[in-house]
Amino acid sequence: MKIEFQRITYGFLVLILLLGILVPSETFATKKLEEDGEEKVLHDMVIGSSEAEETAQNPEEDYYVTVGNEKWEDVIINQDVYIGPKSIVTVDGNVQVNGDVYVYGAIRSEGGLFINGTLNAKRVLDMWSVPIYQGEVQLRGVNNFEKVSNKVPYEIPFFIYNEDLTNKTRTVVIEGKTLPFLDVYADGEEVALDEAGIFTATVEDMITDRVEFELTDNFGGKINKTVEIKDVIPPATPQVEEVTEDTTEITGKAEAYSTVDATVSGDVISTVEAREDGSFSLPIKKLEAGTEIVVTATDRAGNISEAVKVVVVDITAPAAPQVAIVSEKSTSISGTAEPGSTVVVKADDRQIGRITVGADGKFVLPIVKQPAGTVITVTATDKADNESEATVIIVKAEVERISGYMRYDTAVEVSKQGWNSADTVIITRGDDFADALAGVPLAYQLDAPILMTPSKRLWDNTLEEIKRLGAEHAIILGGEGAVSKSVAKALEDAGLEVERINGSSRFETAALIAERIAPEGIDNAVIANGMDFPDALSVASYAAKEGLPILLTMNNKLANATEAAVEELGVKETIVVGGKSVVAENVERALPQPTRLGGNDRYETNIEIAAHFGLDTKHIYVATGQNYADALSGGVLAAKENSAILLVHHRIPSAVSDYMKKENFESLSIFGGTGAVDSSVEEDLRKLLR
């Protein structure tokens, strides 16, 4: 596009010529910058031209910059031209610019200004006026331009002389050239320019791959330039916050915009780009304590930082130690705890011993004998200083009875012995064993006491014990004929969630309990006669500790429900309890890989079972073999205390006395009152203790 401005009147031209005669051309008037509103005003002056003619045609420069007032006449400029902000160029005819012209100061043309490029100016007027403003072009006469633009800020020359700039020494010196009248900043620091616009910018502590230059012209326009630096410095080692077993996000700091990787055993588990402030968050799955995580940062140039190794911190407290019963005759405390943990034992808040648990998780700690009734607390502290909950035991008398006024009350006393609280309780009928025989392993699995009630109403003391325990769930074993609707309603009215496990027969109920114990199936199961109680109760505490369900059979025929349960559970081996008169051989042959544990009577079978499973305790429980109630509720407590139940009647069977002598028990607990195990039997039992 060409723009042509018409000649001014001849009279006005004559006036200008006269002014040129009256004022010598060598003389320079003082130029002033004054504020006129928001624009800077350039006032009139007279300009010489000889120097301008020489410099304007210098072919050595990439571009031409005016820094003072100049007069152009009869010149050809084959470069871009930048009219500085302190400069007024007066064109007095026959001036040709073969490039673009950028006006920061001002141009006045009498005519004859020809620009074969773009005239960049804030304002172009086809007249002369006083005052003249920065960025303004005032014209009269004939002038021709290829194009006119008033877009600011203008494009500027910006040259960098250095090659192969790197941040190897962390100090980068950048040499370059731009317009001498610009305000220049490199990464926020001011840069000095000489009169030709040449500069040297020094950037300290350089760790990134670029330097940002900001150049500001006299109009307030900002131009940004980026100088690329070859980044050869690895990022700083990332800073990583603590990672624990519960951590799902690794957080920390690294070089801004670097790529942060987390690896475990050489495999990358998470990658993320650090934010502008260097912070990062790496999402991860929870990792086991002790896992080593390696974190590195890779910058945009591919430099990799030194690795930081983070070990997942163990914040999980060990499980409370399992502790064997302690009696007033005990000279040691034994049990199991987390391998490598430190077990501390206190008696009435006074430390009486400490020991480091072996790799097998077992410990035996010598102690001074403690009086019956002493409260002993045992805690385990792991290597990460996480302390377990305390296991509290009461030192038992050499011989004690756990009994109540009736069997229901004895079950309550058993519950008080073993549980300070319980989320779940098992409810059974107290005057019939049919549905309860298989219940001990389930109760042990749920850490729930077995409580008893009459069939038609909820026993008052049973309800009070449920409240003491703070239980929220109750599981009734047996149908409504065994434990009525009214009992279930009383439990619901007390705020419990009630569940009932019952089948069409005791065999089916036992199968349903087994399914509840092992929903994914199980390799081993116990088979006992369901028409009598002694053998099932003899094996109950052992089966509970081993996690084995108890399935029931008739003496000479395998119940259909039991046969189906064996198949559905995927049972591969069975333990048959009782002699051949209790579980016939044909039943044994119908079972997978059977092992029989039986004697001539229930007492011998009781000892055969004890010998098979073995005991690691110096405290034993005793119940009558003539009734099931005390042994049923006591079986869960015996399992919980890593012990078992021996059966007696009006005297101690020889098989039982021989076994007690062999095992050297230090103490025992009798389930039930003297009506169940009389005083003479109690005295004989005492004599069998070590």
- In this predicted structure, the answer to whether residue 216 has a pLDDT above a threshold of 80 is yes
pLDDT of residue 61: 55
SS3 205: coil
pLDDT of residue 593: 97
pLDDT of residue 378: 97
Q: Which residue has the higher pLDDT, 80 or 61?
A: 80
Average pLDDT over residues 334-348: 94
Q: CB of 526 within 8 A of CB of 574?
A: yes
475-526 residue pLDDT tens = 999 999 899 999 999 999 999 999 999 999 999 999 999 999 999 999 999 9
| Whole-number average pLDDT of the chain | 89
> pLDDT-based confidence at 34, cuts 50/70/90?
very low
594-613 residue pLDDT tens = 999 999 999 999 999 999 99
pTM: 0.62
Phi and psi at 508, nearest 5°, equal -70, -35
pLDDT of residue 47: 36
pLDDT of residue 41: 53
- In this predicted structure, the answer to whether residue 567 has a pLDDT above a threshold of 90 is yes
Closest CA to 136 of 125, 151, 147, 145: 125
Q: For 48-57, 302-311, 382-391, 664-673, which range has the lowest pLDDT when averaged over its residues?
A: 48-57
Q: CB of 177 within 8 A of CB of 198?
A: yes
Cβ burial of 143 (10 Å; 0-12, 13-18, 19+) is buried
SS3 545: helix
Q: Cα angle at 505 between 504 and 507, to 5 degrees?
A: 125
Q: For 44-58, 225-239, 350-364, which range has the lowest pLDDT when averaged over its residues?
A: 44-58
Q: CB of 617 within 8 A of CB of 600?
A: no
Token reading at 243: 């990672």
In whole angstroms, what is the distance from residue 512 CA to residue 438 CA? 10
> pLDDT-based confidence at 40, cuts 50/70/90?
low
> pLDDT-based confidence at 209, cuts 50/70/90?
confident
- In this predicted structure, the answer to whether residue 50 has a pLDDT above a threshold of 60 is no
- In this predicted structure, the answer to whether residue 690 has a pLDDT above a threshold of 70 is yes
- In this predicted structure, the answer to whether residue 35 has a pLDDT above a threshold of 50 is no
The radius of gyration of the chain's CA atoms, rounded to the nearest angstrom, is: 50
Average pLDDT over residues 233-241: 93
pLDDT of residue 1: 31
pLDDT of residue 38: 44
- Tell me the three-class secondary structure of 149-192, residue by residue: ECCCCCCCCEEECCCCCECCCCCEEEEEEECCCCEEEECCEEEC
- In this predicted structure, the answer to whether residue 411 has a pLDDT above a threshold of 90 is yes
pLDDT of residue 19: 37
93-146 residue pLDDT tens = 999 999 999 999 999 999 999 999 999 999 999 888 878 999 999 999 999 999
SS3 535: helix
Domains in the chain: ranges and CATH: 3-149 (no CATH), 158-228 (2.60.40), 239-311 (2.60.40.10), 322-394 (2.60.40.10), 399-687 (no CATH)
pLDDT of residue 55: 40
272-303 residue pLDDT tens = 999 999 999 999 999 999 999 999 999 888 99
Q: CB of 411 within 8 A of CB of 452?
A: yes
Q: Going edge to edge, which strands form the sheet with 33-36?
A: 33-36, 39-42, 132-133
- Supply the angle between the helices 407-418 and 460-469 in degrees, to the nearest 10: 10
Average pLDDT over residues 246-266: 96
Residue corresponding to tokens 């000489």: 194
pLDDT of residue 168: 86
Give the whole-number percent of the chain exceeding pLDDT 90: 81
In whole angstroms, what is the distance from residue 505 CA to residue 497 CA? 24
Average pLDDT over residues 360-381: 95
pLDDT of residue 113: 96
Token reading at 463: 């309800």
Token reading at 171: 């100090």
pLDDT of residue 9: 34
